[in-house]
Amino acid sequence: MKSRQGQPHLLTTIMLCATLSACGGGGGGGSATPTPPGAPTIGAATAGNGSIAVSFTPPASSGSSPIVDYVATCTASGSTRSQTGATSPITVPGLTNGTTYSCSVTATNAVGTSTASGQVQVTPTASGTAYNTDGVLCSYTVAEFNNSPSVNATASALWSCNPTRTVVANAIPNHSVGTFPNANNPNTIRTQSITASFPLRPAIANENGTNIMVPGHAINGVKFEPGTGGTCDSASPPNCSANGGNGAWRMEALAPSSFNFGTDNNNAHAQPTGEYHYHGMPTGLITKLGKGVAMTLVGWSADGFPIYARYGHTNANDASSAVKELNSSWRIKANPDTGRPATSLYPMGSFLQDYEYVAGLGDLDRCNGRTGVTPEFPNGIYYYVITSTFPFVHRCLRGSTSTGG
């Protein structure tokens, strides 16, 4: 058999191709190994009517090529449903109301699919299905003399649940308060005549929430009002008024070192009418209730859902899971909006417009709430959470304020 001069042996050619990945073209060096994306980070999940909206954060690495889509998968008792989407959140349809699903997300590029994210559990609920809050703190009463120098009056609040949840109160807190008037708040705390009613069987009515100024009342009858009436305009320098004004930029009462509204250690102060109210975490009330690191029911929202302070279960639907501090899904924007007063005067976070909601960033939805079990509602309910960061107290309602039957 004749040898072929100058031609490499076939076996040698195969070995070179396997070792250098050089066959079929390409110069020296070879190419990097193709890789799929990293796993997305799971966020909050929101129950819908036969559906779950699953939030997530994209993976730190997209792999060797761009991510083309994400797949959210929800599983319960051997039944699995999936939905593909390009961005967070992804809504998985076709689920059974009342069944708890475990949901996760994967990312896919041209090479392949990532490992799954962690899981989040949630139970779909029929739209309009009401939760029943009857029997929970329906005869709660506050009648206690407050000897704080700025008060010297009896705190009074009486709750009832027939036919709606109603509170009759005088807006005097049942815990110690700061000094009022003070250098940054000229108002004196005075008794009020408060009557407020709440739905006894609240139901989710709006997935995105409806904005509201007074989202609810604490169980001691003191109202929550996280926003302010203070504004700044876009002039240079800006014209600012802590009590009203025509500016477009809404001041934050608990902003980082910008405006001082004379709030006390309870994140509260008095309005010009003399009404004491909370802008954030009602620390004195929480201390008074004395539950420590535990879910603490501190009030009722205007739409009838309960308000808890700070803590919730790591697994929202598992009462045996650890309790942790819950985080909002709001953050300060990276850059100021056009026309905003200079950040050299007012750092980012000083105005309402400085914040943005990022689904899945924290544990809670846009209205600072989520669905899960609580000590008072072991079968689960939608509830709002007061957090240590913006929005502090929820500023939108997922339910309706109608108290009709």
Amino acid of residue 1: M
Average pLDDT over residues 79-100: 89
- Residue-level pLDDT at 123: 80
Domains plus CATH for the chain? 41-122 (2.60.40.10), 129-405 (no CATH)
Q: What percent of the chain has pLDDT over 90?
A: 75
pLDDT tens profile 39-62? 999 987 877 778 888 989 999 999
Amino acid of residue 341: P
Three-state DSSP state, 104: strand
Amino acid of residue 66: P
By C-alpha distance, which of 403, 340, 339, 327 is closest to 369?
327
- Residue-level pLDDT at 128: 60
Average pLDDT over residues 269-282: 98
String of DSSP letters for 225-278: --S-S-EE-SSSSPPEESS--S-SEEBPTT-SSS------TTSEEE-TT--EEE
What's the mean pLDDT when you consider all of the chain? 89
Tokens linked to 145: 């003399």
- Backbone phi, psi, residue 273, to 5°: -75, -10
Q: Is the pLDDT of residue 401 over 80?
A: yes
- Residue-level pLDDT at 31: 57
Report the predicted TM-score, pTM, of the whole model to 2 decimal places: 0.73
pLDDT tens profile 280-339? 999 999 999 999 999 999 999 999 999 999 999 999 989 999 999 999 999 999 999 999
Q: Is the pLDDT of residue 23 over 60?
A: no
pLDDT tens profile 140-179? 999 999 999 999 999 999 999 999 999 999 999 999 999 9
Give 253's contacts (C-beta < 8 A, 6+ positions apart). 226, 227, 228, 230, 259, 261, 263, 267, 269, 279, 280
